Structure 1
């Protein structure tokens, strides 16, 4: 298997198992590789050691969990990721330069600055307003060609255009454009945010950069507007609507499905999808 594909699959595996006792040995064994070889290629492909990647993903996901579960005790969230109360506070402060308590208190359900455009402050709608545009859907598994993007989500638009131009021969009127986003840019350092740009394809397309995206039960928010407003809408859903909804996010990634992209007006028609249980 191509080494880049191995590393991408290992990143997926780590993100989906953050609440387990992950180690270099267990991950390398899962992919039937020696830990020395796996450690080397992981560092070469990502710029981070396996240990450093696991550690910062655990801390970042715990911060997301605070937003999604505002009534849950901080100590319990830390325990979910294998940290004692004192250790959790130390590693959280080192990563986010504030304590878990202050971070939780600073999470607003009304507004927030845009991390990649700090001069902008977005205002959230009410839970009822978000609910009016949300429906529950059962999505099917789908096979896609993808390109993994790691960096500032503000750069996704240009990367999308490059990706579409490179793969236009595999596209037709039935092609669906999708992206899997793994990080909350209000939590994760912008240069470390992960996103998969995807187009549906025939499993016999013959390319290596392919995968299956798992279906299941998803909440779907219908969005029609400017690309710059996607962040505001997603943050509102995660911060305002989801904690009150009674649903729980699963799989640790969201899915955006695009139906139309206007390059001239920088606007889109799309669904913002969150896997729930």
Structure 2
């Protein structure tokens, strides 16, 4: 595959995922995504299947269900119907059917604790987690950040390759000062690490064109400062979603959590990190 073709395909996939995440609660069609990418429906859908191994319908359904599974755990004051609607399901019955087919339990059973059985092997990896309960967040409005980014499949040490490439792109485009930002689309307790979606980002100007860009939207966030070593971020995400959020007086949005690094162990020879973790939230009244 030619370099230009590979770049074009990467841009199509990035544009598609960003659009899905941004519009998760709405109906998303093949027509609008093909038009957005300036392609025929047939050509666009073929690229999606070849690059992801899934049809567009399967891709959208997968993201909706992963988000719903997490919100059922974190947003205990929202009804199942409200969560289904946030994740793009108009029909309550179709949501229940799709959820049970994917996770083996109904949304009600999942919410009442069955997710622990589903995720038993994943949870066991976090049993040695540190005590994060003394880390108090600052609740504040966080402004829009325009980013260039590289999408990475999996939460693992190979993330370093994406950061190295992003640093090289910044260097070749004369960007000397920038924030290193990571987006965490998935809860690693209920999604296998190899299937989690991680996005490495740097903030750029609006006229940046070298690779795909998007906006981290303005949002009310709980902002936690976290210092640690490899593995602590995933343990911390588990703590935030499963313990802090359900007892906080806030609920999670469908916008993904993200981190801004002060010290990034993926881009230095050091083994520790220092970051601010941003969790987009709604206030419970």
For Structure 1 versus Structure 2, the TM-score category normalised by the shorter chain is 0.7 to 0.9
The unaligned stretches of length 5 or more in structure 2 are 1-6
Structure 2 equivalent of residue 67 of structure 1: 73
Offset, 1:224: 0.8
SS of the aligned residue for 1:121 comes to coil
- For residues 93-133 of structure 1, give each alpha carbon's deviation from its aligned partner in whole angstroms, at most 9, with x where no partner exists: 22123332332222789xx8673x84441557586x34x2x
Aligned to 1:186: 189
Match of 1:250 among 241, 250, 253: 253
Whether contact under 8 Å (1:126, 1:240) holds in the other structure is no
- 1:20 and 1:180 mapped to 2: Cα distance? 22
> How many correspondences in the alignment?
269
SS at structure 2 position matched to 1:184 = coil
Q: Could you say which residue in structure 1 is the equivalent of 2:278?
A: 273
Question: Does structure 1 residue 46 correspond to structure 2 residue 56?
Answer: no
Alpha-carbon separation, structure 1, partners of 2:269 and 2:83? 44
Give TM-score, length-normalised by structure 1.
0.81
> Equivalent residue for 2:3?
none
Give 1:23 shift: 2.5
Alignment of structure 1 residues 94-243 onto 2, 5 Å? 94-106=101-113, 115=122, 118-123=124-129, 129-130=134-135, 132=136, 134-150=137-153, 152-155=154-157, 157-163=159-165, 166-167=168-169, 169=171, 170=174, 172=176, 174-203=177-206, 207-243=210-246
| Aligned partners of 2:132 and 2:236 also within 8 Å | no
The verdict on how the C-alpha distance between 1:223 and 1:273 changes in structure 2, with shifts beyond 3 A counting, is same
1:27 aligns with 2:33: yes
TM-score scaled by structure 2?
0.79
Moved more, 247-256 or 79-88: 79-88
1:142 offset after TM fit, Å? 3.1
Aligned residues of 1:114 and 1:122 also touching (Cα < 8 A): no
Of 206-215 and 263-272, deviating more is 206-215
Following the alignment from structure 2 to structure 1, what is the Cα–Cα distance between the partners of residues 125 and 250? 33
Aligned partners of 2:260 and 2:276 also within 8 Å: yes
Q: Deviations over 1:216-265 (max 9, x none)?
A: 43221000111211111122112222233333433521111111134555
Distance 1:50 1:157 in 2: 25
Alpha-carbon distance between aligned partners in 1 of 2:273 and 2:108, rounded to the nearest angstrom: 37
Secondary structure of the residue that 2:227 maps to in structure 1?
strand
RMSD over aligned CA atoms reads 3.1
Report how far residue 47 of structure 1 moved: 1.8
Of residues 4, 8, 24 in structure 2, which corresponds to 1:2? Answer: 8
Aligned-pair distance for 1:180?
1.4
The 1:201/1:225 distance shift into structure 2, 3 A limit, reads same
What is the CA–CA distance in structure 2 between the aligned matches of 1:251 and 1:79, rounded to whole Å? Answer: 11
Whole-Å separation in 2 of the counterparts to 1:120 and 1:235: 8
Aligned partners of 2:243 and 2:166: how far apart in 1? Answer: 33
- Residue pair 1:114, 1:121 contacting (<8 A) in 2 also: no
Between the aligned partners of 1:246 and 1:214, the Cα distance in structure 2 is 22
